[in-house]
Amino acid sequence: MNILAEKIELAKLILSTDDTGIIKKVKALFKDKGANQWDDLPPAVKQSINESIEQANKGEFVAFDRVKEEVHALLKK
């Protein structure tokens, strides 16, 4: 099903319900979409992300294309 069909199906469901709880939850999903999810992450995950960013900024990483090539080569064996 393509995205337009999904939207239409969702609109039909929303229009057919009288459950205010569902309507409120859908509205909350749209409001929360822009919320900062960083604050919800555990400290260990935040630390790991920050370390990864620092490594990338120092050039300490392997380019994704290189990883794909290496994995492809391993899978051929």
**Does residue 29 sit in the same domain as residue 41?**
no
Which strand (E) or helix (H) includes residue 24? Answer: helix 20-32
Give residues with Cβ within 8 angstroms of 61, minimum separation 6: 55
d(CA 25, CA 34): 15
Q: Which domain holds residue 50?
A: 36-77
The tens digit of pLDDT for each residue in 9-54 reads 999 999 999 999 999 998 888 877 666 778 888 999 999 999 999 9
**Does residue 69 sit in the same domain as residue 43?**
yes
The tens digit of pLDDT for each residue in 51-75 reads 999 999 999 988 899 999 999 999 9
**Does residue 58 sit in the same domain as residue 40?**
yes
Instruction: Identify whether the C-beta of residue 24 lies closer than 8 Å to the C-beta of residue 32.
Output: no
Q: What is the pTM of this model?
A: 0.45
From residue 43, give the alpha-carbon distance in Å to each of 8, 13, 39, 49, 61.
40, 39, 9, 10, 23
**Does residue 49 sit in the same domain as residue 17?**
no
Instruction: Identify whether the C-beta of residue 63 lies closer than 8 Å to the C-beta of residue 70.
Output: no
